[in-house]
Amino acid sequence: MLIFQCFQGIYYYFYQVFKNKAVTIAAAQKVKGRGDGTVGMFGWLVVAAIAGSLNVLFTNPIWVLVTRMQTHTQAQRKIMEEKKEALRKAASESTIADSTLQDKLAELNSIKPRPYGTIHAANEVYNEAGIVGFWKGVIPALIMVCNPSIQFMIYESSLKHLREKRAAKKQGNTSISALEVFLVGAIAKLGATVSTYPLLVVKSRVLNAHAS
């Protein structure tokens, strides 16, 4: 969970950097008589896509190592359970005595798994596929960048529309309330999820096929 939050922080850092750059460019274009000085819907889409792509490229090696360590632990547990099941099956067939079964089960439980940390996982990945192995699965991850890209495009465009609508009504206060931000964010996330769900299904199928 902590790693995931760190990844989100990296994404928002890149998003803010490119957002500020886009706002600066839009203001400069207005001075030259081009545009109204605001970032358009397509501009927000590009900003979010660039931020998401950089986030994926920077963090994919960490995801690869975390996944490798998790699958290694699960594989060790599965092997241990298979050994225990084989002993129980042998005992049920009267191949070994109950006392011997308990001794062997206790012996298996006392076995500590070999240390397997980040260095071990990194060595395995490098030995299997070289440096490219750390970016395994990066293509499906880049495809899913469109989800937050669409989300922020809808979010920023909706906030812009609200401000322009209030300015047109000549209201003194054009600020957005916390409730409105919450509702706009929820609608943006819903729109992004609905529009990219087919891609998520395809990504899951591809990863499952690769794993099998």
* pLDDT, tens digit, 9 for 90 and up, residues 35-46: 777 888 788 888
Helix boundaries (H) for 93-145: 98-110, 118-129, 138-143
**How many angstroms separate the CA atoms of 209 and 52, rounded?**
25
What is the token pair recorded at 134? Answer: 């750390």
Quote the pLDDT of residue 187: 92
Quote the pLDDT of residue 208: 52
Per-domain boundaries in the chain: 2-211
* pLDDT, tens digit, 9 for 90 and up, residues 158-188: 888 888 888 777 666 667 788 888 999 999 9
Residues of the chain predicted below pLDDT 70: 1-7, 74-75, 91, 93-99, 101, 103-105, 108-116, 170-174, 203-212
Quote the pLDDT of residue 210: 47
